[in-house]
A and B are shown apart, each in its own frame.
Chain A
């Protein structure tokens, strides 16, 4: 037993086993420092894992939990696609955790702080677990681990705004229904094949097309759709992200929906594959139209929000539309575009929500009114928001542009001309809602009196540094697409090959 063999399990057990210790720590700094440390460990493990997978010849690692061989034992199967998502999730965690302290201090009861960081670590475990596992039922278990932690985390926002409680409750209801639908789907697949291992499922589903499998697919699609806030099943998301503590919003917005999109990709491409007749219909009649509808409806709703967090949340729903579009093309370029956008959107939304968290810290509000004249009061925060906002719009030299380029290219090469134009049209809506905030920040004078009159003081360094790390990542990955674009293309090739394109 050497280190490399055990590597795939490290991203899971590190946060999982270390999380309960958080509860034993005295409240205050200690849990925060500890959790930050754990998140960095996890990030290191994920980064190492990605590097190892990218270099391995087979293109994937298979880890047998408890040395029980698949298909009976639970298998962790890491290929480039999920290693990339693992890196994103743990990377965002590694940035959000150090960032969180001041924001959490303000927004959460101090007595709860050990629980808060513990729950964050558990949530991180769940997100990573869903991504890494190669077992369909295990996906459900980790999904619920992360979701349960998330409900609690969202509800902790109640100290500032009691609406966090109702938002968390709604999220719980919808999340549980989604997870249960998913379990039903997995059960049906089990009934049809007698296995839960994804690779095994793929082998046995090949050539099968009957109502049991169709129903299983439909249940899984709806279940994951609820989790990833696919339009029109997104209604829980804006409330949850708007009222959750700012650090939680930043973390979830950047990771949770990405993880769900990844699960969808994994099920569509690895488990079902192009052989599955139902899939074509799902692409053309479900994913593509819903993706487009989400892009437009949610983005337009975002334009009219007075609450910046809520606006960003709606924007997230719209951005999920892009990811669904990419994967619904069913081509290598499309899946690559989806993966790239997942990664990139994580970076930009994380940075945007972090900027909002800084504003909340100083102004005590995330209403658009609190942003007036921000470029003069909190220049570093304001510019972080502006740069990542430009990234969201898709301005060149940012990651948003790379996403858009991949997506457009995929659309054009797949022959969906009209979709290509709809994509750019909807990014113009992003220009509207981001432009609105930017205009307020840059051109309005800071209010002299009233609720939003705050001193000219930028956020503390411990928040600015992590935020600017993400902003820098927004620029860096906009210039160097080797990691995102290159790996995503390789991952997409592998995925579409398993799905049956290579045959």
Chain B
């Protein structure tokens, strides 16, 4: 058995080795893909080792080196990070399988670059997960931004360039313009950026002054990856990327790294006691609530399937931010479990969208009428994923909503409960309408014969499904979401130390 701290270090380093292997195997795609899958599998095992160790109460630490005096690059796993690590690496494995199917089905160019960027990005995501201080987190956060840029601009045409410009512009502008000063400021106040139970600011800062809310605002908007409105535009614009990339951005790593950072900063830098006592987080709670509703409303009006899912993500991410800003232990629990639940659900939806695109080259919701009859597996998975996102039992997504409502009640914010309910209703409308169309409505005239993509759809009797590698992964994640519903208690127990630590 590998020592957990070794596993932690390897988890950050292994994907980089994988990246080099992918580069070397450029000429033979089969070996290259094998390298990706092998790395992903090994990574999953490593993160599970860390996960189990953390579950037994261990807090493995790894000190890499000191960059500036007092600012080391160091790792320390705690329940939240360990959970994020497992989600990211597990979904990366699924996503890799899916990417292979998608990219080959599409005969994409520059596949080597694509998989290399993926490997670097996942390394950065794991680094974010295990970071033991703000400085380390910031470094990996930036690496994640930069390494996903080639993915977003994968097609290299004018549209991709524009999308990439906005993607990089918004994320870099917020991180350098807001997050970096916030970190330096924190360092100037507390003389440390170490994630500490109970926060590092308490006792070092004048609680009556505007410093706490201003600093919180810098973090909330500085972490552009959390897509809190109005710093969300990068997310819909990144939709120009191939679908596996969208799935990666929305479910596996990028946005999750964002909300994970928000949660971690609230719990371990501010400390929820400080926020509750000062009330600094209340304005941001309302911004998050507004973001939830507004994004849902925008999503309803989007006909493009991926754009609709993108705005759904913006909305769902704000659940996590909302949970953090409620400044109650239940709120934090809700936010943390939302990370897991949303990852599985949104992953499913995106992979289904990709499968539809690969098999039938459809991108608009209005074109999907009757398609469920030829792609029952895909739309079945979509249905389950949508249920989980909405928060309907028996899907895993129902728990975070439940915790959040409890948290809101604890905080005495009854209006927030109403917001959550309205949002769920909106979700029902814009998400469930899609499988309903696909299964119950008749295909429009002249659209009876679905157009195949470059790779012809797989014929299974009367079914025209996407390639196997595009259908199985969404089914896997959908069933994962189902399992999560019944595994709620272990998850709660696992994450309990955070709220216990947070007080």
In the complex, the answer to whether A443 meets B188 with C-beta atoms within 8 Å is no
Chain B hits for A481, CB < 8 A: 67-69
Chain B hits for A428, CB < 8 A: 172-173, 176-177
Interfacial chain B residues near A478, Cβ < 8 Å: 67
User: Are B184 and A412 in touch, CB under 8 angstroms?
Assistant: yes
Across the interface, which residues of A come within 8 angstroms of B184, CB to CB? 405, 408-409, 412, 420
Q: A402-B68, A409-B184 are in contact. Are A425 and B177 (CB under 8 A)?
A: yes
State the Cβ distance, B150 to closest chain A Cβ, in Å: 8
Count of A-B residue pairs with CB < 8 Å: 75
* B173-A396 in contact (CB<8A): no
B158-195 interface with A by 8 A CB criterion = 160-161, 164-165, 168-169, 172-173, 176-178, 180-181, 184-185, 187-188
The reply to whether A396 and B139 form a contact with Cβ atoms under 8 Å apart is yes
Within the assembled complex, what's the spacing in Å between the Cα atoms of A134 and B410? Answer: 69
Residue of A nearest to B153 (CB): A443
Answer yes or no: A390 CB below 8 A from chain B CBs.
Answer: yes
Do A395 and B142 touch across chains, with their CB atoms under 8 A apart? Answer: yes
B contact residues around A397 at 8 Å (CB): 139, 143
Quick check: is B393 within 8 A (CB to CB) of the other chain?
Answer: no
> Nearest-CB distance from B12 to chain A (Å)?
13
Check if B75 is an interface residue, CB within 8 A of chain A: no
Interchain nearest-CB distance for A476 vs B (Å): 11
Partner of A443, one of B67, B142, B164: B164
CA A406 to CA B168, docked complex, whole Å: 25
Residues of A within 8 A of B150 (CB): 442
User: Is the CB–CB distance between B181 and A390 below 8 Å?
Assistant: no
- Residue B17 lies at the interface, judged by CB distance under 8 Å to chain A: no
Taking CB atoms and an 8 Å cut-off, the chain A residues in 392-417 that contact chain B are: 393-397, 402, 404-406, 408-409, 412-413
Output the nearest chain B residue to A486 by Cβ-Cβ distance. Answer: B69
Shortest distance from the beta carbon of A348 to any chain B beta carbon, whole Å? 16
Question: Which residues of B from 461 to 498 have beta carbons under 8 Å from A?
Answer: none
CB pair B176 A424 closer than 8 Å:
yes
Q: Are B177 and A396 in contact (CB under 8 A)?
A: no
> Complex Cα distance A479/B68, Å?
8
Pairwise interchain contact A393-B176, C-beta atoms closer than 8 A: yes
B156 on the A face (CB < 8 A): yes
- The residues of B that contact A486 with a CB separation of less than 8 Å are 69
Complex Cα gap A442–B161 (Å): 10
A404 and B146 form a contact (CB under 8 A): no
Q: How far is the CB of B184 from chain A (nearest CB, A)?
A: 4
Of B69, B150, B180, B184, chain A has the most CB atoms within 10 Å of the CB of B184
Q: Is the CB of A424 within 8 A of B180?
A: yes
The one of A420, A431, A443 that contacts B173, using a Cβ cutoff of 8 Å: A431
Assuming the contacts A409-B187, A428-B172, A443-B161, asked whether A396 and B138 have C-beta atoms less than 8 A apart, the reply is: yes
A396 cross-chain contacts in B, Cβ below 8 A: 138-139, 142-143
CB distance from A395 to the nearest CB of B (A): 6
- The answer to whether the Cβ of B65 comes within 8 Å of any Cβ in the partner chain is yes
What is the CA–CA distance of A408 and B178 in the complex, to the nearest angstrom?
Answer: 12
Q: Which residues of A contact B160 (CB under 8 A)?
A: 443
In the docked arrangement, what's the CA distance between A21 and B51, Å? 68
Within 8 A of B (CB), among A440-467: 442-443
State in angstroms the CA–CA spacing of A10 and B79 once bound together: 59
- A439 vs B158: C-alpha distance in the bound complex, in angstroms? 11
Q: How far is the CB of B223 from chain A (nearest CB, A)?
A: 15
Question: Shortest CB–CB separation between residue A400 and chain B, in angstroms?
Answer: 11
Greatest chain A CB density within 10 A among B142, B176, B187 is at B176
Tell me how far the C-beta of A292 lies from the nearest C-beta in chain B, rounded to whole angstroms: 16
How far, in Å, is B282 (CB) from chain A's closest CB? 24
CB distance from A335 to the nearest CB of B (A): 16
Contact flag A413-B188 (CB < 8 Å), given A402-B67, A443-B153, A479-B67 = yes
What separation, in Å, do the CA atoms of A67 and B125 have in the docked complex? 62
Residues 121-159 of B at the A interface (beta carbon under 8 Å):
138-139, 142-143, 146, 150, 153, 156
The answer on a CB contact under 8 Å between B165 and A420 is no
Q: Are A485 and B177 in contact (CB under 8 A)?
A: no
Neighbour of B68 across the interface among A395, A405, A442, CB < 8 A: A405
A200 to nearest B CB, angstroms?
Answer: 35
Given A402-B67, A413-B188, A485-B69, A424 and B181 contact (CB-CB distance below 8 Å): yes
Check A404 against B188 for contact (C-beta < 8 Å).
no
How would residues 61 to 75 of chain B score, 1 for a CB under 8 Å from any chain A CB and 0 otherwise?
000010111010000
The docked-state distance in angstroms from the alpha carbon of A402 to that of B143 is 16
Q: Chain A residues with Cβ under 8 A from B67's Cβ?
A: 402, 478-481
A421 at the binding interface (Cβ < 8 Å): yes
Jot down 5 A-B pairs with beta carbons below 8 A, ordered by A.
Answer: A408-B180, A424-B181, A439-B161, A485-B68, A486-B69
Residue numbers of A with Cβ under 8 A of B are: 390, 393-397, 402, 404-406, 408-409, 412-413, 420-421, 424-425, 427-428, 431, 435, 439, 442-443, 478-481, 485-486
Further 20 A-B residue pairs, CB within 8 A, beyond A394-B180, A395-B142, A431-B176: A393-B176, A397-B143, A405-B184, A408-B184, A409-B187, A412-B188, A420-B184, A421-B177, A421-B181, A424-B177, A424-B178, A427-B176, A439-B161, A442-B153, A443-B156, A443-B160, A443-B164, A478-B67, A480-B65, A486-B69
